Amino acid sequence: MARLFIHDADIETAVAVRQAAAADGHAAEILSDLDAVERQAGDEPVFALVLTGDPRSREARRAVATLGSRIPRPPIVAVVEADHAASLAEADGGMDLDAVLTQPVDPAEVQVTLTQELERFELQLETGIVGRTDAMMEVLERIHTIAAVQSTVLVTGESGTGKELAARAIHRLSPRRTKPFIALNCAAIPESLLESELFGHEKGAFTGATSRRKGMFELADGGTLLLDEIGEMPAGLQTRLLRVLETRRFMRVGGDIEIEVNVRVIAATNKQLRESVRTGAFRKDLYYRLNVLHVDLPPLRHRRSDIPILVRRFIDELSRAHEREFKGLSSEAMQILLDYEWPGNIRELRNLIESMVVLAPGSVIRAEDIPLDVRETSGRALLPVQSGDVSAALVADGDDGMPLPQMEFLFRTLVEMKIDLDDLRSEFDRFRSRYRAGEDSGWGRASPDESPLTTFPGIEAIEVPSRSDDDVEAPPSIKLEAGMTMADIEREAISIALAGVGGNRRKAAERLGIGERTLYRKIKDYGIDP
């Protein structure tokens, strides 16, 4: 297990945490000097820090900042009084903590929290994928879950979100890790050569085939083959790929002998393959054969709090590569990067950091070192605006005498609302697709004459034992009624999930699609009796 360092600011709490951690197999130490954590840890690959007392103290903040130089950063957990937990996140810019537990110490909650945070930390070490947002934690946990099996995987996400890195992480965590990992970009190879690249060819199979050549499937035998940009694969090859996936056999171009291979295929695309299937550009049967397991990578604009972590990693990596010493970014420069929309996602961020590392005159990247096009669009949505209307109103006072700052504030607010609505619309489209597909959840689907919007979307993953046709009872559901808050809906969803699994919190967390630690906290917050 891992090492655990516990600050003794509150000695009673520290002892309780140590007992809970030791019972779970961790090597727990109580320290009175937080400055000694880095020294005590040394080259220890996996460890965690637990803060007791006031985590906003100067000593605690210094320890958090010191450990923040490690990427990924070891987990930091705070144990505070219940009255202070709510205000902790709102205090002076918030605290950069991975988890907050409340007193009195619940040994089970301590063990669940430490296990979850340490597993997430180890996943980042093993995969090279960094980030502490909930979206990336879900991606990492999903990668860890599916890596052990042999099924095909479809990795989706916008261009530049790291689909190949996710595919490599799946391979690295799988039993095939000692075998080859081969990546092929289907869009980068001419259609006339793609078949030969995939399956190889015999000598004389076509003009220029002067010798026998193995294809990617043969080269990846026993390992993993990534088919990037799978949405660009020609229709004829889609048919042949489907047969290979089903039989694990193929013939080289111009050959007459079947070759059997054992290859796990991971497909990646930035396209909406469901739409391609609908238009006939992609085979439906191949889509279902590839989409056995699915990993969807969030765009960078949906995980903005990971930007400082990525920036630090890129500056460290690129400054060493170019032999230039950099201390980091100024606060103004970082705010520009946080506000930018990042249409090119992580790839765009890395390229931007490299250009600034090479061109910035000082050891600190400042706002003026950031390219003008990024500075000008930072904080603004990349949405079409009618020329001469709103943009002109930002230059001078409005007709009603409203000064520039107020007009700009209103404009930005309206744009942000438009972005939120677009995100909500996209989320509902995904929900509607699952609804229409008729998942085997058993309920969570509205009746034919009832709009899906009248049921709570987060409930469709909860299963209820089926009953005979003679004794069908309406499954539990949550109706949106006037005056209900999101907290009301969430409380009901948790209560139903717990009731459906006899109070088993682990199973309830799985059905709700949230972590056990999150469920523990919400049960406490809502006063639910499991």
Quick one: pLDDT at residue 245?
A: 94
Please, are residues 451 and 432 in contact by the beta-carbon 8 Å criterion? no
Please name every residue paired with 328 in a beta bridge, in sequence order, or none if there are none. 364
- Higher-confidence residue of 65 and 460: namely 65
Quick one: pLDDT at residue 289?
A: 95
Quick one: pLDDT at residue 421?
A: 53
pLDDT 10s digits, 174-209: 999 999 999 999 999 988 889 999 999 998 888 888
Confidence of residue 380 (pLDDT cuts 50, 70, 90): low
Please name every residue paired with 50 in a beta bridge, in sequence order, or none if there are none. 6, 77
Please name every residue paired with 79 in a beta bridge, in sequence order, or none if there are none. 101
Q: Is the dihedral of CA 418, 423, 429, 435 positive or negative?
A: negative
Q: Nearest 10 degrees: CA dihedral of 352, 354, 355, 361? A: 120
Quick one: pLDDT at residue 43?
A: 77
Quick one: pLDDT at residue 400?
A: 42
Number of neighbours of residue 113 by Cβ within 10 angstroms: 27
* 174 token code pair: 């799988």
Q: Nearest 10 degrees: CA dihedral of 370, 376, 378, 379? A: 150
Number of neighbours of residue 27 by Cβ within 10 angstroms: 13
Calculate mean pLDDT across residues 155-170.
95
Confidence of residue 466 (pLDDT cuts 50, 70, 90): very low
What one-character DSSP code corresponds to residue 213?
B
What one-character DSSP code corresponds to residue 502?
T
Quick one: pLDDT at residue 109?
A: 92
Q: Is the pLDDT of residue 472 over 60?
A: no
What one-character DSSP code corresponds to residue 73?
P
Return all residues near 368 (Cβ < 8 A) that are at least 6 apart. Answer: none
Quick one: pLDDT at residue 87?
A: 65
**Separation of alpha carbons 212 and 375, rounded Å:** 54
pTM: 0.68
Quick one: pLDDT at residue 395?
A: 38
Q: Is the peptide bond before 448 cis (omega within 30 degrees of 0)?
A: no
Pairing mode of beta strands 3-7, 47-51: parallel
pLDDT 10s digits, 291-348: 999 999 999 999 999 999 999 999 999 988 988 888 888 999 999 999 999 999 999 9
Helix, strand, coil shares of the chain as percentages rounded to 5? 50, 10, 40
The whole-chain average pLDDT of the chain stands at: 80
> For 137-298, CATH number?
3.40.50.300
Q: Is the pLDDT of residue 393 over 50?
A: no
Q: Is the pLDDT of residue 95 over 70?
A: no
3-class DSSP state of 268: strand
Quick one: pLDDT at residue 383?
A: 39
Q: How many CA atoms lie less than 13 Å away from 138 in the CB half-sphere?
A: 14
Number of neighbours of residue 259 by Cβ within 10 angstroms: 18
3-class DSSP state of 29: strand
pLDDT 10s digits, 100-123: 898 888 999 999 999 989 988 999
> For 301-377, CATH number?
1.10.8.60
CATH class of 3-127: alpha beta
List the domain boundaries for the chain: 3-127, 137-298, 301-377, 445-526
Quick one: pLDDT at residue 89?
A: 53
Of 451, 526, 453, 445, give the one whose Cα is nearest residue 491. Answer: 526
> For 445-526, CATH number?
1.10.10.60
Please, are residues 265 and 198 in contact by the beta-carbon 8 Å criterion? no
Length in residues, the chain: 530
Topology alike, domains 301-377 and 445-526 = no
- Higher-confidence residue of 465 and 190: namely 190
